[in-house]
């Protein structure tokens, strides 16, 4: 029997019923929403048994008014079966500054950079990641620009400013924008 996204959803539901929050089929695209603690186990199964050998992207979505606040989204491709699958993990409860999800870089090494980007732009921690540090923003930047609560106009910098670097530890508004190395 050929492996398709639909058959994969059925297999994951059967094999990991405790891991699946919900499944969604929208316009022929299959999505499985998982509990974070089962992510690595399910991903290992998808690689080994269902031939989802390519992780094309990891990203996040900030749903500011929803709890949990963030969706971490994984786009998988089974090249041998020409099948695409989306996984989602919901994280981020009220008061949690840096929600966490386990890394999948041990399953798909290419996840390393994707997870670093999500960490940098959303502040989501990938536990067990081998090198979790900023990849796009300056190393001393303390905020995460793709969060919905990030200021739309950015931060006011004193003149002259050098390449976006703030030459002080605290901005005039009182909240820290950059760390002192």
CB neighbours (10 Å) of residue 123? 21
Between residues 176 and 145, which one has the greater pLDDT?
Answer: 145
Q: What digits encode the pLDDT tens for the residues 36-86?
A: 999 999 999 999 999 999 999 999 999 999 999 999 999 999 999 999 999
164 pLDDT band (50/70/90 cuts)?
low
- CA dist., res. 170 & res. 108, Å (int): 39
Q: Where are the beta strands (DSSP E) in 63-164?
A: 70-78, 83-91, 100-102, 125-127
E-strand ranges in 16-124 read: 20-26, 29-34, 54-62, 70-78, 83-91, 100-102
Backbone φ and ψ for 121, nearest 5 degrees, come out as -90, -25
- What is the location of CATH 3.30.460.80 in the chain? 5-127
What is 5-127's CATH number?
3.30.460.80
Q: What pTM was computed for the model?
A: 0.84
Task: Copy the structure tokens of residue 132.
Answer: 């979790």
């Amino acid at each position: 029997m050929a492996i398709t996204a639909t058959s994969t959803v059925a297999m994951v539901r059967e094999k990991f019923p405790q891991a699946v929050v919900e499944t969604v089929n929208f316009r022929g695209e299959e999505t499985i929403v998982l509990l974070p603690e089962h992510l690595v186990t399910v991903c290992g199964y998808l690689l080994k048994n269902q031939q989802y050998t390519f992780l094309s992207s990891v990203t996040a979505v900030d749903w500011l008014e929803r709890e949990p606040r963030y969706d971490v989204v994984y786009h998988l491709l089974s090249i041998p079966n020409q099948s695409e699958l989306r996984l989602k993990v919901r994280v981020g409860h009220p008061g949690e500054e840096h929600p966490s999800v386990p890394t999948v870089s041990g399953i798909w090494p290419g996840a390393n950079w994707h997870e670093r980007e999500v960490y940098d732009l959303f502040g989501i921690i990938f536990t067990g990641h081998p090198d979790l540090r900023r990849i796009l923003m300056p190393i001393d930047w303390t905020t995460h620009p793709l969060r919905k609560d990030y200021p739309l106009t950015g931060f006011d910098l004193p003149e002259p400013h050098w390449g976006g670097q703030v030459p002080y530890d605290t901005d005039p508004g009182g909240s820290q924008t950059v760390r002192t190395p």
